[in-house]
Amino acid sequence: MKPRPLSDLVRKALRVVEPQFRLDRHHGHHGIAHWSRVWLHGRRLAAELDVAPALLAWFAYLHDSQRENEGIDATHGARAADFAVGLRRRRILTELSPREFEWLCEAMRLHSDGHVEGEPALRACWDADRLDLGRVGIRPDPAYLCTDSARDPRTIAAAVRRTHAARRRRPRA
């Protein structure tokens, strides 16, 4: 079977995630714009760390998909992992090997806990998310990034510019 193009996978992930997302998917801090920037960072990190891009795509669009609020929601990562298990059982999330799927679920469960050690797949996921902290006014701190690439001052500066540009475009409530 020929692998699905990544753009098809992203559309598929959005079709699955968007309808059930409880928060403001267009203007919230954890919605589509955030997921898209996490995917942008994730694609690059996947290539640099030799991690399956499909794993980073699913992480980008699932990791915050089960949030119940924009603030502290300590179990949203675990709920996202459970949601992914359901997608796998329904044969929707089929692009990952069993091991890659385990990494995806682990990355989602732990993504808000500040871990910096782990398999390359986990570190790529966590850095892809943390590089987008500028959306809430936090500059990514190299001490909390997991990969040399993400810790590079140029990478951080580019990520901050990207999120600042996105914040300027966001309509005020």
Distance, CA of 124 to CA of 59 (rounded, Å) = 10
Structure token digits, residue 171: 């309509």
Q: Domain for residue 17, yes or no?
A: yes
Q: pLDDT value at position 8?
A: 93
Domain assignment of residue 134, yes or no: yes
Look at residue 1 and tell me if it is in a domain.
no
What pLDDT is stored for residue 171 in this prediction? 54
Going by the DSSP 8-state scheme, the letter that residue 94 receives in this structure is: -
Phi first, then psi: give them for residue 138, nearest 5 degrees.
-110, 125
Note the residue count of the chain. Answer: 173
Expressed as residue numbers, the domain containing 83 is 6-169
Strand, helix or coil for residue 164: helix
Q: How many domains does the chain have?
A: 1
CATH of the domain at 13: 1.10.3210.10
- What does the pLDDT profile of the chain (173 residues) look like in tens digits? 456 678 999 999 999 999 988 765 767 666 788 999 999 999 999 999 999 999 999 999 999 999 988 888 999 999 999 999 999 999 999 999 999 999 999 999 999 999 999 999 999 999 999 999 999 999 999 999 999 999 999 999 999 999 877 666 655 54
